[in-house]
């Protein structure tokens, strides 16, 4: 029987590629997306398209209200998404788009679903190369969550299996991710990365997410198929 995996799917480029990789490794994929008070629902629409096209067995949408706590430009309408930042890449600053404990919460839900499904494999498309600003995208965080998972659950304690948190793109550059995904047939037109799209859904081309994405496509020698309101160059 095919092993099951829970795959965190945001609708962005990284998680779509991660889902494609999990399928290529032979897992039956259960995709999990959060509606967490993002300022736009376009990411969620993208996740639904990606899950369908990339053959997830099931796709669940969990509503969680991270707005209740605030503290991030991604969940708090009073904070501005930064544009045209000078420093991209290996910055030691933690950006205002950081959402407190986001990946801890996401992985906790993934673990809960995995335990119910009888799955022991979790996939998360974190990436620490292009962007080192988020503490919960680092390998040491992932290793700590894996240890926690194997203490937290009945399934692990009863010896039914050992949880693994897979981070197949953690050490790749954005360009490598795009090349790898393109090779696996991922249609990046289905994905959405922009933190601040316009009313027509076009990406801004100027926030950190757009700029990393555009830089990745340029370095991969490919053209980004999504529509931009600004050329981002």
Strands (E), the chain: 4-8, 28-35, 58-63, 121-123, 164-166
Question: Which of 12, 2, 5, 4 is CA-nearest to residue 169?
Answer: 12
The residue assigned the tokens 């967490």 is: 36
Q: Does 167 bind a second copy (CB under 8 A)?
A: no
Q: Is 158 in the site for a second copy (CB under 8 A)?
A: yes
User: Least CB distance from residue 71 to a second copy, whole Å?
Assistant: 4
Does 218 bind a second copy (CB under 8 A)? Our answer is: no
69 or 185: whose CB is closer to a second copy? 69
Q: Does the footprint of a second copy cover residue 156 (CB under 8 A)?
A: yes
Contact code string over 102-141 relative to a second copy, x by CB under 8 A: xxxx--xx-xxx-xx------------------xx-x-xx
85 binds a second copy (CB under 8 A): no
What 3-state DSSP class applies to 13? helix
Is 128 within 8 Å of 143 (Cβ atoms)? no
Q: Binder to a second copy among 39, 42, 83, 98 (CB under 8 A)?
A: 98
Q: Is 147 among the residues that bind a second copy (CB under 8 A)?
A: yes
Q: What share of the chain is helix, strand, coil (3-state, %, to 5)?
A: 40, 10, 50
Question: What is the rounded distance in angstroms from the CA atom of residue 176 to the CA atom of residue 178?
Answer: 5
Number of amino acids touching a second copy (CB under 8 A): 43
Is 100 an interacting residue with respect to a second copy (CB under 8 A)?
yes
Kind plus residue range of the DSSP H or E element containing 104: helix 102-117
| 5/220 with CB nearer a second copy | 5
Using alpha carbons only, give the angle 18, 21, 22 rounded to the nearest 5 degrees.
Answer: 85
Q: Which is nearer to a second copy, 109 or 218 (CB)?
A: 109
Chain positions contacting a second copy, by CB under 8 A:
60, 62-66, 68-71, 94, 98-105, 108-109, 111-113, 115-116, 135-136, 138, 140-141, 144-145, 147-149, 151-154, 156-158
């Amino acid at each position: 029987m095919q092993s099951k995996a829970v795959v965190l799917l945001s609708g962005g480029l990284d998680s779509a590629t991660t889902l494609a990789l999990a399928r290529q490794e032979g897992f039956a994929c259960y995709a999990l997306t959060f509606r967490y008070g993002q300022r736009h629902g376009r990411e969620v629409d993208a996740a639904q398209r990606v899950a369908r096209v990339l053959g997830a067995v099931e796709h669940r949408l969990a509503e969680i209200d991270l707005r209740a706590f605030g503290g991030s430009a991604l969940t708090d309408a009073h904070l501005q998404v930064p544009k045209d930042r000078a420093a991209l890449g290996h910055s030691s600053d933690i950006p205002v788009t950081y959402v407190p404990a986001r990946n801890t919460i996401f992985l906790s839900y993934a673990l809960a679903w995995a335990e119910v499904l009888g799955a022991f494999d979790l996939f998360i498309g974190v990436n620490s190369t292009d962007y080192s600003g988020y503490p919960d995208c680092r390998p040491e965080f992932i290793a700590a969550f894996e240890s926690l998972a194997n203490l937290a659950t009945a399934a692990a304690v009863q010896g039914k299996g050992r949880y693994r948190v897979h981070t197949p793109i953690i050490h790749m550059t954005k360009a490598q991710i795009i090349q790898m995904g393109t090779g696996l047939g991922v249609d990046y037109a289905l994905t959405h990365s922009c933190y601040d799209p316009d009313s027509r859904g076009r990406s801004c081309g100027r926030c950190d997410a757009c700029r990393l994405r555009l830089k990745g496509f340029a370095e991969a020698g490919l053209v980004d198929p999504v529509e931009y309101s600004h050329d981002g160059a």
